[in-house]
Amino acid sequence: MKLSLLALATIVVVASGAMAIAAEANPAYPLSTCVVSGEKLGEMGPPVVINHEGTEVRFCCNGCVKKFNADPAKYLAKLGKKETTQ
């Protein structure tokens, strides 16, 4: 019994450390609204999430993804990011 509790405590500590590292690597998303339409995320169902050149971008619907892809720099500015050109 003591060994089981010790093992459980060890797992909890390790898991907590891993979650803290993940939180540092992926800071909270800065907006509660769609970068294209301004609609509150989640009001039209689960947000559509894409990764654009390493930046997570969230949308209210797939239609907004198409608009974003037409001019990413315009919308990345709302996230405080600049588009990289290759």
More confident residue, 30 or 19: 30
Residue 56 pairs in a beta bridge with: 51
**Where are the chain's structural domains?**
2-79
pLDDT tier at 76, thresholds 50, 70, 90: very high
pLDDT tier at 55, thresholds 50, 70, 90: very high
Would you say residue 7 has pLDDT above 80?
Answer: no
Count the Cβ atoms, other than its own, within 10 Å of residue 21. Answer: 10
Chain centroid to CA 43:
17
Residue 80 has a pLDDT of 83
The answer to whether the predicted template modeling score (pTM) of the entire model surpasses 0.75 is no
Residue 70 has a pLDDT of 96
User: What residues contact residue 58 under an 8 Å CB cut-off, 6+ apart?
Assistant: 29, 31, 34, 35, 41, 47, 48, 49
